[in-house]
């Protein structure tokens, strides 16, 4: 799944650049309408917009956010039909004895409370992560590897979360805590609001046809990739069909869209626990960092 996703990220940027060339738009627009906004989502598109704007692309922020928004809509529409088609064509069935892995049972006792101590613990952890990411970004820049600050901060967070709890087991690391979830949701919403407030969508009205053409090409490419490459490579079984619906939501939208697609499929056809383990792992830990390197290469080319 990791290598398939890596291959698709490359394909997505190639399709975007080819689509831009067909229409006569700059190749950088194709990169924005590629993995920067689709697999990357709003956050990645906003982070890379200044670099692409520096290439002479006016309205780079608006282009990236528009593509990411339209991609989310398309992603939520294609995942279910793809899985339904594969399930019907190959007569697939879910695991009858498997239990759903999405959501928390109602009889589970909630023992975790949110107070000033665990909130301050989350803030301390976030500050340490950002500081570490800042220094790592300086090192990367000196090594001629210009990356958005969020990528090096994300990498620092992954390193800390996988080392500090092992080295210092007495420290209560805030990973997967309610306090972190609240601050995460608030920070993401604030980030998007601040970014969207400065958008000027009317400045890209002349590119509306170009963007729709590229996004149609991206949708066709995603469907063909899922049906003829991803599904056979994952074993042509029910889990592969559920993963196909999730990949459709993830390739053009975001991880929550992928989970929503897979949840809808499993509710209709039966649970697929392994799919809910594989896709979030790939989407959370692999794609953002790899995507940034590929976007950088695409921009340089």
Asked if residue 25 is part of any domain, the answer here is yes
For the stretch 272-288, pLDDT in tens is 888 887 887 787 667 87
pLDDT, position 192: 62
Asked if residue 169 is part of any domain, the answer here is no
Q: How far apart are CA 157 and CA 276, in angstroms?
A: 23
Asked if residue 16 is part of any domain, the answer here is yes
pLDDT, position 168: 86
Average of per-residue pLDDT values in the chain = 84
Asked if residue 285 is part of any domain, the answer here is yes
Asked if residue 82 is part of any domain, the answer here is yes
Average pLDDT of span 87-95 = 86
Asked if residue 159 is part of any domain, the answer here is no
| The pair of three-digit structure tokens given for residue 47, joined into one six-digit string | 């982070």
pLDDT above 90 for 33: yes
Average pLDDT of span 182-196 = 73
Asked if residue 180 is part of any domain, the answer here is no
Closest CA to 241 of 86, 46, 100: 86
Asked if residue 240 is part of any domain, the answer here is yes
- Give the domain extent around 236: 2-103+199-300
For the stretch 224-267, pLDDT in tens is 999 999 999 999 999 999 999 999 988 998 777 888 888 889 88
Helical H runs in the chain?
2-23, 27-31, 41-53, 60-90, 116-142, 149-167, 178-197, 208-225, 231-233, 238-252, 255-269, 273-285, 287-300
182-189 long-range contacts, Cβ below 8 Å, gap at least 24? 182/114, 183/119, 183/122, 183/123, 183/126, 188/43
For the stretch 153-169, pLDDT in tens is 888 888 898 898 888 88
pLDDT above 60 for 148: yes
pLDDT, position 103: 41
More confident residue, 179 or 22: 22
Average pLDDT of span 294-298 = 88
Q: Which of 79-88, 265-274, 292-301 has the highest mean pLDDT?
A: 79-88
CA distances (Å), origin 7, targets 35, 239, 297: 11, 21, 14
pLDDT band for position 150 (50/70/90)?
confident
pTM here is 0.74
Count of domains for the chain: 1
pLDDT above 80 for 128: yes
Look at phi and psi of residue 41 and say left if phi exceeds 0, alpha if psi is from -120 to 50, else beta.
left
């Amino acid at each position: 799944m990791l290598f398939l996703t890596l291959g698709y990220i490359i394909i997505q940027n190639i399709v975007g650049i080819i689509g831009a060339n067909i229409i006569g738009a700059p190749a950088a627009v194709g990169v924005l309408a590629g993995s920067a906004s689709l697999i990357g989502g709003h956050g990645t598109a906003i982070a890379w917009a200044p670099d692409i704007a520096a290439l002479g692309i006016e309205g780079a922020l608006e282009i990236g956010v528009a593509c990411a928004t339209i991609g989310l809509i398309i992603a939520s529409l294609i995942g279910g039909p793809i899985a339904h088609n594969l399930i019907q064509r190959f007569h697939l069935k879910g695991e009858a004895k498997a239990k759903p892995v999405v959501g928390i049972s109602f009889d589970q006792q909630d023992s975790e409370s949110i107070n000033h101590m665990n909130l301050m613990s989350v803030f301390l952890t976030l500050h340490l992560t950002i500081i570490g990411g800042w220094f790592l970004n300086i090192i990367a820049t000196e090594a001629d590897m210009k990356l958005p600050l969020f990528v090096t901060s994300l990498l620092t967070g992954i390193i800390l979360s996988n080392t500090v709890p092992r080295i210092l087991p007495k420290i209560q690391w805030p990973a997967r805590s309610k306090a972190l979830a609240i601050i995460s949701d608030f920070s993401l919403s604030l980030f998007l609001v601040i970014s969207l407030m400065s958008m000027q969508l009317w400045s890209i009205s002349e590119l509306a046809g170009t963007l729709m053409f590229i996004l149609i090409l991206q949708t066709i490419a995603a469907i063909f990739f899922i049906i003829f490459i991803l599904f056979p490579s994952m074993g042509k079984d029910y889990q592969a069909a559920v993963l196909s619906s999730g990949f459709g939501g993830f390739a053009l939208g975001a991880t929550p869209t992928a989970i929503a697609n897979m949840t809808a499929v499993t509710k209709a056809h039966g649970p697929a626990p392994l799919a809910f383990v594989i896709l979030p792992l790939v989407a959370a830990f692999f794609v953002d960092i790899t995507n940034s390197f590929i976007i950088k290469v695409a921009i340089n080319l």
